[in-house]
Amino acid sequence: MPLRDRWNDVIPDAATLADDLVARYTASDRKAYRPQYLEAVLAALDSLEQLSTDPVAVRLAVWFHRAVHKPSGQPAEDAEASAEFAEDSLPAYGVSSARVAEVARLVRLTGASSPAAQDANAQVLLDAVNASYAATNYATHASELRRDAWDGSDAEGASDAWDGSDAEGARDAGDASDARDAGDAGDRSTAIKQRLTAVRELLDGPIYRTQLGRERFDSMARANLTRELAVLDGALPAPWRGWQRAALIAAAVFSPLLAAMAAYGAAHSSWRSPSSSDSAWFPGVLCVLELCTVPLFIRFAPRVGRTARVVSGAVVVAGLAALITTWVLVPAKTPSTGVGDRVPLLMISAVLLLVAGLAALASCWPVARHPRPEFNRGQLLSVVTTLAVIVGGVVFVAEPIHRAYLLGANEHLTGSDAPVGIPARSELTGGIAWVSRPISYSADAVRRSVSTKHGIAIASETGTVVMLDPATGEQRWRYSRSDSDGTPELAATADGQLLIANFDDVGYLVLDAATGKRQAWPSGTRDHDLLSADPLLTGEQVGKGSDKLRGVDLDGNDRWTFEPGRCTTIDAIATADTALALLDRQCGERHNETTALDLKTGKKLWSRPSPWFGEQPMAVGGLIVWTERDGRSEGEMRGTLVGVEPRTGTVKWRWEVPSNWACGTRVTVAGDKLVLLDCPVAAKDTQTVVTVLNAATGGSSGSGLPRSKRVSGSPSRPMPEWRWSRTWRRRTTVCWT
């Protein structure tokens, strides 16, 4: 029915008013609330007006509710002006004052942001106005509202961007804030955000107030509003939108790649330690499955639907099955066999596959009522961050757990609760204090034994450390590893309370000397060299850059790091308060150097060239003792022992090696004494001379011997504390307690 003919059913004899109203809705300068809108509202009212108590008043309110409209104006102002126009116009056509008042009240309700529609007339009117949400030309009306709200400020460009689907816009009977706020702001982003909020509020609550309105319009209205929400959300110029879903998709695609790498590594590892020939069918199948998962997730993870959820759920089930299967196949542990590297690698692979499935499931689940937005920098950063988090999780979380699992699974400790006996007191009588039971260790292992506060630690070639009771020589505890078959290198630290054992293919482990229990120790020291055990110093050789010297706490963490520069080999020795770094320059024109560092802070104390460096320096009696060579052959020591105060580098004493010694002096430390082994020229093959020096003075400490003797052409040489000789074989080993 033509719009003009619809008026005749309301007030038949008001043609002038009808023409005026139609002209207002068809005005050429009006961008919104055009004739199509009014026809849609009147058509909806035809099916609802039987529910009202005054159908004529409701129909008049429909005609007048946007008769006055100011572009980019506020809906409340339009409604108020339209109500005043009705109050001025209707009395002249015989409309009663009561009906005029009712029409004006209803018109004003259409401009309220939250109209209180308690009576039947108001409910019918508002449902008829909101029926525009369910109209087939909803997108056109929304585009008109948008152009009207912006009133020419980039309206056409915005219209193209919105693709004509802004939808209802001003929310007519209750959506008053949309066009008003957008017009006030004059900003496209603000308008989109405000409309997004309004549409979400509509979808979250009841749109229609009457049961008939809900039955006829609610389904179509919600579909239109949902499509509008999707377009609005996609058009919002927010650079971070969609980053959560992008992160989930990245996790779903990238995690199976890392999982396949872990499974491939597991296929080339062993179930057991020591290694054995095992079938690799399970890690091989898992690796192929994870590689096939990658293209599946590339296709289905960005989608929302049942198929995507089924695929993601199947991967979750596969990850759980792989984890359970690995757990079931873990080999039994015995003192001679343990768990191989395949077990933790498969666990890591299964967990990554499970993470990928859960991420894909979360990504494809319809958690929002809109599709994934266009790719933006926020999504790009979230993808990069997700990849970094996954890699970092594998490196800094999974790998330490992997190492801790293997350390615990492959160690065997017995006798950890055995009490320690009182050590037998040494007596210089040559008597035997005790004899241990026969052991299968080599003489070399016995020579490399270490004395601790709780006994004597001996290492065997089978990756085993045994602690002998200092009172009886009986075995107190035995620590062995099934993943190492080499002889561990031992060193005591913490004043003999802890034992540092360097196992092949495992690295440094710290054992409690009293019980043999393993203490916490950072895995980063695995490739370090133990340069000093008590106090602790470690060295690290790097492929590029500078080698490093590290001061280490008893928990294994670095206290300080010293880097001397490229092409430099580091050796070091330490006293109670000073670390002496011995730098061997291997390129350039720089000379070898000796650098003293504060042991607590790593602060450099002094440094000087050391071209005279010969033997490895020794820390004894609070001093550093080294040898100055005289340039003769490497096998013979001809020169001077030098005692240096480490904090300042001051020479405290010098002791010249006698010129009649011929066997190449061996120097060892016994407490605060220096022990020198050599032989005289006259009895080179039949006699050994043992010389003992006081490390603090380089000579006697009260034995009655002369403290020094002048040697022609040489500095003062203190006399030894004592010396004795005996007819022995030339090669002699002396152990000092």
In terms of Cα–Cα distance, which of 482, 553, 559, 483 is closest to 521? 553
CATH architecture of 526-611: Beta Barrel (2.40)
| Mean pLDDT, contiguous 10-residue spans, the chain (737 residues) | 75 85 86 86 90 92 90 82 92 91 91 77 91 85 70 39 37 39 51 76 86 92 84 68 86 96 94 82 94 93 86 95 93 85 95 95 66 71 94 92 90 83 66 73 74 89 87 88 87 90 87 91 75 88 82 88 87 91 80 89 88 69 80 56 89 85 80 83 73 82 34 41 47 47
The verdict on domain 436-521 having CATH code 3.90.245.10 is no
Cβ-Cβ contacts under 8 Å for 550 (sequence gap 6 or more): 528, 537, 538, 539, 540, 558, 559, 560, 561, 562
Domain-by-domain residue ranges, the chain? 3-235, 243-409, 436-521, 526-611, 615-726
pLDDT at 260: 96
Helical packing angle, 188-204 and 138-150, nearest 10°: 140
Tokens representing 512 are 């409690």
Q: Which CATH number fits domain 615-726: 3.40.50.10680, 2.40.10.480, 3.40.50.150, 3.30.70.20?
A: 2.40.10.480
The verdict on pTM exceeding 0.85 is: no
pLDDT at 118: 76
Long-range contacts of 243-247 (CB under 8 A, 24+ apart): 243/378, 243/379, 243/381, 243/382, 244/382, 245/363, 245/372, 246/372, 246/375, 246/378, 246/379, 246/380, 246/382, 246/383, 246/386, 247/382, 247/383, 247/385, 247/386
Question: d(Cα 147, Cα 630) in Å, to the nearest integer?
Answer: 99
CA dihedral 540, 542, 548, 553 (to 10 degrees): -40
Peptide bond into 274 cis (omega under 30): yes
Residue carrying the six token digits 């809705």: 25
Residue indicated by tokens 């266009």 = 374
Equal CATH topology for 526-611 and 615-726: yes
Burial of residue 76 (number of CB atoms within 10 Å: 0-12, 13-18, 19+): middle
